[in-house]
Amino acid sequence: MKSILIYFATKYKGDFYKILKALKENERVSDENAQAVMDDLEQKGIQAFTVLDSVYPEVFKHLKTPPFVIFYKGNINLLKNDLPKISLVGEQYNEIVQSYLDKSLSEVIKRHTLVTNGYKGVEEKINNYFLQNQGKLIFVSANGVENPWISSKFEQNNQNILLISEYPNTNVSYKRLKNRNRLVAALSKNLIVYSSSKASGIQNLVNHFLMIGKEIFCFPGDINFENDGNTELIKQGANLITEVKDVYKEINFE
């Protein structure tokens, strides 16, 4: 059954509903075709687990559309390690945001596994800090695990990195970017937002955290910036923090 699920996930590019339809209609798959997909993954150094495997995260099973298959490269044990997982995001980078990073990252890296979308800008700075200081990272990709920008990181610190995706090698799309956020939210215990605008993709990520009842923490926004997302999130009930220790006080994590 595992090879069948992986075959459908590859054929239908990770589309939950198309895979479900194929299963319900008992779409036939030859052993030859299923094995060809498995051989191709092995040749590319890609591994996969399914919803039927013990390593499959329990938190994914509670999603409305849990991935049937997760493709991955790297250290799969990071999914089950003892460090609580956290997501750190930001959009606008400036001296103030850098000061927030300076005050928080050394504390976060000791306590958490970072779950990241791998965006550039603020998140790239966060990711690089973790890479340079032997932090543990789980990258969630919206276009497969052959993503060249993320794959290049594996040469630096393979045992501290895991790259996962519900998609085989495929193009990025708006839908896949949004869907990817639900996996980040499911894996992470909390979300810390360093900076954002009202219309940024971070808002979709925030919504996924809120839909599953998880806390949002925001550093102060720029009240003089009409489109400031952090200020708006705080108005709507996100937790205002000035240092990362505020997060630990709020969630009773010492």
Please give the share of the chain, as a percent, with pLDDT higher than 90: 71
Question: Is residue 145's pLDDT more than 80?
Answer: yes
Tell me what pLDDT residue 217 has.
96
* pTM of the full structure: 0.92
Tell me what pLDDT residue 82 has.
83
Contacts of 140 (CB under 8 A, 6+ apart): 115, 116, 117, 118, 164, 165, 180, 183, 184, 187
pLDDT one-digit tens code per residue, 155-200:
655 789 999 999 988 877 888 888 999 999 999 999 999 999 988 8
Ordered by where they begin, the domains of the chain are 2-73 (no CATH), 77-250 (3.40.50.450)
Section 119-134 average pLDDT: 91
pLDDT one-digit tens code per residue, 212-240:
999 999 999 887 788 899 999 999 999 99
Contacts of 214 (CB under 8 A, 6+ apart): 185, 188, 189, 190, 191
